[in-house]
């Protein structure tokens, strides 16, 4: 094998052929190199710091940021979630668990449909904030918002139940950034590959 770089397969042409040579006197003195290094650190004194003073100052985030989930209520204030479990099925990280319950006679104002989620938990340590739950939801009940998950002292503290997920009546969470008309239209469109189910394919005679 020769030292010619053309002889072997190379991904880039950036590799350098190193030759072993004696250091020059200036190199062996170290002092020029030290002076060079010190001038670099000195120049950095005058550079702007990259720090963001976090609690007071927030980094700008995208309007469609995917953070802390919210379980929406409808206009009358009833929970939209029907505990169908599609979000849990769609979740690639298996972060969502729920227990369904039947709505009682006098609970019509609390839950939109006959079935509702008695327990709905998202493990925020498992969640990868991909947004597939939001995409899977047929009832427009779950959305990701631009809120950041706060830190916690224990793992159990990261399992968010309905107390943290469902929006309160007096403080509704705005999800119009993620629920744009285009998105609503897109979710209805059965011709988009990701919305097609097996049954649709059977109907279309393509299967």
- Residue by residue, DSSP assigns 149-170 as PPP-SSSGGGEE-HHHHBPBTT
Applying CB under 8 A, which part among 37-45, 95-103, 128-136, 164-172 lies near another protein? 37-45
Cβ atoms 5, 17 nearer than 8 A: yes
Q: Tokens 């011709």 correspond to what residue?
A: 191
Cβ atoms 145, 154 nearer than 8 A: no
Compute how many residues bind another protein; rule: CB under 8 A. Answer: 14
Asked if residue 49 binds another protein (CB under 8 A), the reply is: yes
Residue with Cβ nearer another protein (36 or 181): 36
Asked if residue 21 binds another protein (CB under 8 A), the reply is: no
Strand runs labelled E in 66-158: 69-71, 96-102, 115-123, 142-144
Nearest approach in angstroms of CB 30 to another protein is 9
Residue with Cβ nearer another protein (15 or 51): 51
Pick from 10, 27, 32, 34: which binds another protein (CB under 8 A)? 34
Nearest approach in angstroms of CB 19 to another protein is 23
Asked if residue 41 binds another protein (CB under 8 A), the reply is: yes
Cα dist. 115→31, 37, 91, 103, 134 in Å?
Answer: 77, 68, 21, 6, 19
Asked if residue 24 binds another protein (CB under 8 A), the reply is: no
Asked if residue 25 binds another protein (CB under 8 A), the reply is: no
Q: Tokens 């062996």 correspond to what residue?
A: 28
Helix (H, G, I), strand (E, B) or coil at 132: helix
Alpha-carbon distance 94 to 85, whole Å? 12
Partnered with residue 144 across adjacent β-strands are 69
Nearest approach in angstroms of CB 150 to another protein is 19
Nearest approach in angstroms of CB 28 to another protein is 9
Nearest approach in angstroms of CB 49 to another protein is 5
Cβ atoms 122, 165 nearer than 8 A: yes
Footprint of another protein (CB under 8 A):
34, 37-38, 40-42, 44-45, 47-51, 53
């Amino acid at each position: 094998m020769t030292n010619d770089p053309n002889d072997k397969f190379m991904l880039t042409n950036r590799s350098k052929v190193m030759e072993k040579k004696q250091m020059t006197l200036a190199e062996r003195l170290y002092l020029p190199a030290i002076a060079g290094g010190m001038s670099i650190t000195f120049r950095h004194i005058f550079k702007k710091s990259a720090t963001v003073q976090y609690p007071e100052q927030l980094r700008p985030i995208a309007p469609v940021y995917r953070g802390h989930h919210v379980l929406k209520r409808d206009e009358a204030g009833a929970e939209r979630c029907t505990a169908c479990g599609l979000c849990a099925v769609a979740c690639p990280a298996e972060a969502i668990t729920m227990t369904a319950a039947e709505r009682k006679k006098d609970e019509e104002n609390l839950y939109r449909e006959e079935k509702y989620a008695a327990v709905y938990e998202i493990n925020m340590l498992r969640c990868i904030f991909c947004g597939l739950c939001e995409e899977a939801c047929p009832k427009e009940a779950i959305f990701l918002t631009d809120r950041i998950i706060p830190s916690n002292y224990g793992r159990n503290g990261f399992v968010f139940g309905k107390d943290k997920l469902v929006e309160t009546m007096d403080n509704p969470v705005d999800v119009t950034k993620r629920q744009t008309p285009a998105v609503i239209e897109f979710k209805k469109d059965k011709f988009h590959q990701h919305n097609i189910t097996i049954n649709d394919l059977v109907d279309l005679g393509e299967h």
